[in-house]
Chain A
Amino acid sequence: MEPAEIFPHSGGVIGVSWLMIALPLLGAAILLLGGRRTDRWGHFLGVAMSLASFVVGVLTFVELLGLGEEQRRRVVELFEFIPGMVNMGLLVDPLSISFVLLITGVGSLIHIYSIGYMSHDPGRRRFFAYLNLFVAAMLLLVLADNYVGMFIGWEGVGLASYLLIGFWQHKPSAATAAQKAFIVNRVGDFGLLVAMFLIWTTFGSFAYGPVLGAAGDANVPATAIGLLLLLGACGKSAQLPLQSWLLDAMEGPTPVSALIHAATMVTAGVYLIVRSGAFFQAAPTAQLVVTIVGVATLLAGAIIGTAKDDIKKALAGSTMSQIGYMVLAAGLGPIGYAFAIAHLITHGFFKASMFLGAGSVMHAMNDEVDMRKYGGLASVMKVTWATFGLGYLAIIGFPLLSGYWTKDGIIEAAMEHSPILGWLAVIGAGLTGFYMSRVFFMTFHGKRRWAEDAHPHESPAVMTWPLILLSIGSVFGGAFLIVGNRFMTFLSPAVGAPEEPLGFHPFSVPGITTLVLVAIGAGYAWTKYGRSEVPAVAPRGSFLTTFARRDLYGDALNESLFMRPGQWLTRLAVFFDNRGVDGLVNGLAAGIGGSSGRLRRIQTGFARSYALSMLFGAAVVAGALLLVGNL
């Protein structure tokens, strides 16, 4: 089934859906411009703006549901942005509204949580301003009805992410991580930009309607556009080969890791691929590359997750891996879109809940992140333990919890497409069972390996309530979306639907195998980290462990593949620059500067010489006019 037509819309709640973006933006503006005057109530304003945005989102959603199924793609025209090129408008359809609810819903919970988490931080107001900025940009990203608007949001979330990773900029590691994220993302943005250039020259428009409607035409360079879009998606979603920034991004405050680097921003790549699905369906090569990238990342992320002792980095590896699943599903075409987005939503809940749980633990343990110094926390932090545990069960695919439904859907769909992809995804699920159990047991069970001065305690209610709400989502979300193909039906007007929807097979071979592998992984983790002693310093381990600990040598690879050759190239360039090119490049600059210096001397400061130059100029102008006039 093809995606439904897009209808212009005005009036109603949908007509004012721009409020969703405007409110948090206003919040950010007030907080940033208001300065210290807003310190006392700034965080409440931030929360209020986010909640207001959520309310508008819900009302929009309700109004959208009230429309007929084929009528659910509405464009709200806002203004002419670049005359003759871009008309800014918002596209409210099932795909974008799903994201809106996730972003504003989870976002609001994380805002609330942050009131507690950042209560002692002197920069709390600035933090909420950035969070609001992020929410606004992310909503623009998913709501814009054209690639330019999407790109502005894309850059906006990049900026917010940069600002928030480097929020504690006094730490050199945070500042470096922020810059790394920024630079790696630029590589992806480059791909996205070139894709947009191609789109403009091919279609003469940036709007989704006309562009995607004609994406299947014969003369469209769909493969090139698809691969370039994928490059953009890889940057933002930390997929191979642009994954290296995500682990470092954990230097940011934990709510940021939960909101931006787990639940929402990093899934923008998945959104991009699903939204631009028409290009990929027209280019099987690009689709194949998408699935390969997805599988490679899901395995790489899982392997990295097995070896990290830093709780946030282990979770970041897991995020990479889970997004790998989504990208894989998005690469499968209409059959996978619903699962990709469903997994994205459930992942948003359980990963956010686990990250916030990790934050709660860190809050209790004086910001200690090394899991080897945790252990046995279950008894002192009951709520955190329970919510984290539910998130953990959801992510490993414990039957009937959220992850079970959505991840299994992806595996089934991949199996349908190509057994190799399917079985690799199954192996990834097994690894997930191991590394997530490792995180859970090392943190909450086993012996207490706390530092001398640690006095863990449960976090305040303002932090635990968001955890509880999120874990409700991680328990029931999957079943709600998947059972009866509810989500696929809802989404199909926006992204299309397969000819015959994939049924749910709980007792298929891959399904059973997955469960068995997960159980083995979890059991092994229990024996190794739950029951037996965990050494306080990481043992040396085999070369495989080292491999995983060093992020699969991702940084080393970047260094040797890009940085070193880049340095050599630079050196070479400098060499040539000093010799030959000097005359051209440096010479040009020096030439301009030099001529500027020489020309300056005309400016003698004497009125008489100015007058002379005017006279001279007048003579030249008159002479030239006479000359031209008499030609």
Chain B
Amino acid sequence: MNNTFQAPTIEYGQLAPLLLVFGAAVVGVLIEAFAPRYLRKSFQVPLTFVSLLGAFALILVQVFVSGVPTAPAAMGAVAVDGPSLFIWGVILILAAVSVLLITDDDHFVPQAAAVPGSAEEDDALAEGAAHTEVYPLVLFAVGGMLLFAASNDLLMMFVALEVMSLPLYLLCGLARRRRLLSQEASVKYFLLGAFSSGFFLYGMALIYGFAGTVDLAGISRALGTVSGQDPLLLIGTALLGVGLLFKIGAAPFQAWKPDVYQGAPTPITALMASGTLVAAFGALLRVFWVALGNLDWDWRPVMWGVAILTMVLGAILAITQTDIKRMLAYSSIAHAGFLLVGVIATGDARQNADALSGILFYLLVYGITTVGAFAVVTVVRDAGGEAGHLSRWAGLGKRAPALAGVFAFFLLAFAGIPLTSGFFGKYAVFAAAATGGALPLVIVGVVSSAVAAFFYVRVIVLMFFSEPAADGPTIAVPSMGTAAVVTVAAAATVVLGVFPEPVLRLADQAASTLFIR
């Protein structure tokens, strides 16, 4: 045993975006502790935006001034490479857009500790209390996402996973209306998330048992040198995979998604459906491509099965949904399946770069469209909050043509209709998969897309060709933030659908170096 202890070197410059977000979160907690109640929001909101946008600026500085690093930072614990930087940028954009939705207080419970329906709750409502803890929680979650997608060893990845998940568990339970549903979602997410973390941790332990290291590159090296402990490695791979597949909501680990998406406050759902998915895919790619890349003959058939099951289950189950948020949740499951098709499409370096670039682009466009769609959901309201039931959306096209039109456009983008960003996303991923020899998967993907298109179009038909209900939902006047979100998302969906070239090229560049080891 070597007793000399090496002092670690930390590349603070490369980690600056992470540190900024976490630092802002810590400051946010201090504000909660010391600032008077009435001032908190006016501190928290600028702080949140400044840190998110500042982190984004730091990424730009890193890319354009310092150049993309070629070696992992912080003693090999964090890899700030092309894909990481792209994913960071995407997460920060999505988070900033989601925070615009969050600034609308109307979504969050005034006092989370009050029993639903109790006198305390009424008091808190009357008092106009608000939980400004939401902002530091979101920042912690976002910081976790950033770290999750960039962590280069399993231990760091696990820490990031928890830092990302714990605030989200809490945030899920803070919906202002239908609080029992929200709390149920929160508890379910927590229980199942903890369960999946257990799988991840156990898989990590087994892999450590096999490789003697938690470093992703080290595991990859061990694959070539250690032999005779296959069951350990394979079961470890499976359990690690379960933990990650749970986070992206792949079947058969998708059960939490609809319940949680439905119960959580819609802005938080938007953040989860976009940011968490992006981060989880970053981590999934890193584990399966970097650490277990040489094991692809073993995991690929299983991934095939998971991808097919996810696409088919997501598309089919979405058909009979009657709640708009649940439908979007199932659509998110189906999209996770489409993205998995890209994960499987490995091959030589060129092929990997193509597949990776497709996935990166897909994540960006899907994330933005998702946030936009949930933003629309927040403004269609009933007496009891958002009008979730699809029957309430009948005839929306006549009552609010612009809103319904934008929503229809988002749905078409989900369906992957040409001239929307969704088309190029799907095209990029499926094209890479087809050249990577996963043609049957692509066919399943296209068929599922067709099935999925059915329920997207069904909603459009409902909105535009049905008679509006007599006591239909009111269309809340969107706050500035919400209006901005819808506008930005719609614009991005159009621009990336008509003129995707610059962003595709950026994704290509980010993917060209692949993951550093």
Contact = CB atoms under 8 A, between A and B. Distances in A.
- Do chains A and B stick together as partners? yes
A611 B195 contact: yes
Nearest to A618: B242
Nearest to B309: A617
Contacts of B305: 624
A573 interface: no
Contacts of A626: 231, 234-235, 238
B317 A618 contact: no
Contacts of B235: 622, 625-626
Contact of A614 (B233, B238, B242): B242
B291 to A, nearest CB: 15
B289 interface: no
A605 B259 contact: yes
A630 interface: yes
Nearest to A593: B319
Interface in A68-92: 79-81, 83
Instruction: Give the interface size class of chain A.
Output: 20 to 34
B255 A613 contact: yes
A628 B320 CA distance: 35
Interface string A604-625: 0101011101101110111011
A83 B255 contact: no
A603 interface: yes
A603 B317 CA distance: 10
B72 interface: no
A12 interface: no
Contacts of A618: 199, 238-239, 242
Interface residues of B, number: 42
Contacts of B258: 603
Nearest to A35: B402
B316 A611 contact: no
Contact of B242 (A79, A597, A607, A617): A617
A625 B302 CA distance: 7
Contact of B252 (A83, A592, A600, A613): A613
B317 A629 contact: no
B302 A593 contact: no
A626 B234 CA distance: 6
B123 to A, nearest CB: 31
Contact of B451 (A81, A592, A603): A592
B301 interface: yes
Interface stretch (B159-167, B184-192, B459-467): B184-192
A406 B499 CA distance: 42
Per DSSP, are chain B's interface residues mostly helix, strand or loop, or mixed? Answer: helix
A611 B190 CA distance: 11
A625 B319 contact: no
Contacts of A605: 259
Interface string B150-187: 00000000000000000000000000000000000001
A602 interface: yes
Given A596-B317, A614-B192, A616-B252, A83 B199 contact: no
B257 to A, nearest CB: 10
**Most chain A CB neighbours (cut-off 10 Å) among B188, B258, B305:** B188
B196 interface: yes
Contacts of A592: 316, 319, 451
A625 B252 contact: no
A521 B253 CA distance: 82
B141 interface: no
B246 interface: yes
B241 interface: yes
A599 B255 contact: no
A149 to B, nearest CB: 12
Contact of A607 (B188, B251, B302, B306): B188
B313 interface: yes
Given A621-B238, A621-B302, A607 B313 contact: no
Contacts of B238: 618, 621-622, 624-626
A611 B246 CA distance: 11
A609 B256 CA distance: 11
A629 B246 contact: no
B208 interface: no
B106 interface: no
Per DSSP, are chain A's interface residues mostly helix, strand or loop, or mixed? Answer: helix
Given A595-B316, A596-B316, A628-B298, A614 B253 contact: yes
B11 interface: no
A630 B255 CA distance: 30
Nearest to A617: B252
Nearest to A606: B188
A630 B317 contact: no
Given A596-B316, A617-B253, A625-B302, A83 B504 contact: yes
Contacts of B252: 613-614, 616-617, 620
Given A611-B191, A614-B246, A614-B252, A622 B317 contact: no
B372 to A, nearest CB: 16
**Most chain B CB neighbours (cut-off 10 Å) among A602, A603, A613:** A603
A469 to B, nearest CB: 36
A607 B301 CA distance: 29
B316 A621 contact: no
Nearest to A620: B252
Contacts of B239: 618, 622
Nearest to A589: B454
Contact of B317 (A600, A611, A613): A600
Contacts of A607: 187-188, 191-192
Contacts of A600: 317, 320
A80 B503 CA distance: 12
B196 to A, nearest CB: 7
Interface string B292-334: 0000011101100110000001001111100000000000000
A623 to B, nearest CB: 8
Contacts of A611: 191-192, 195
B138 to A, nearest CB: 25
A599 B317 contact: yes
Interface in B199-239: 199, 230-231, 233-235, 237-239
B501 interface: yes
Contacts of B199: 614, 618
Contacts of A622: 234-235, 238-239
Interface in B408-467: 451
B448 to A, nearest CB: 11
A468 to B, nearest CB: 41
A617 B63 CA distance: 41
B306 A621 contact: yes
Interface string B358-397: 0000000000000000000000000000000000000000
**Most chain B CB neighbours (cut-off 10 Å) among A81, A599, A614, A628:** A614
Contacts of B195: 611, 614
Contacts of B299: 625, 628
Contacts of A609: 255
B320 A603 contact: no
7 contacts: A83-B504, A596-B317, A603-B317, A607-B191, A607-B192, A614-B252, A625-B302
Given A611-B191, A614-B199, 19 more contacts: A79-B499, A81-B501, A596-B317, A596-B319, A599-B316, A603-B258, A607-B187, A614-B196, A614-B255, A618-B239, A621-B238, A621-B241, A621-B306, A622-B235, A625-B299, A626-B231, A629-B233, A629-B298, A630-B230
- By Cβ-Cβ distance, the 3 closest A-B pairs, closest first, are A617-B252, A622-B238, A610-B255
Interface of A: 79-81, 83, 592-593, 595-597, 599-600, 602-603, 605, 607, 609-611, 613-614, 616-618, 620-622, 624-626, 628-630
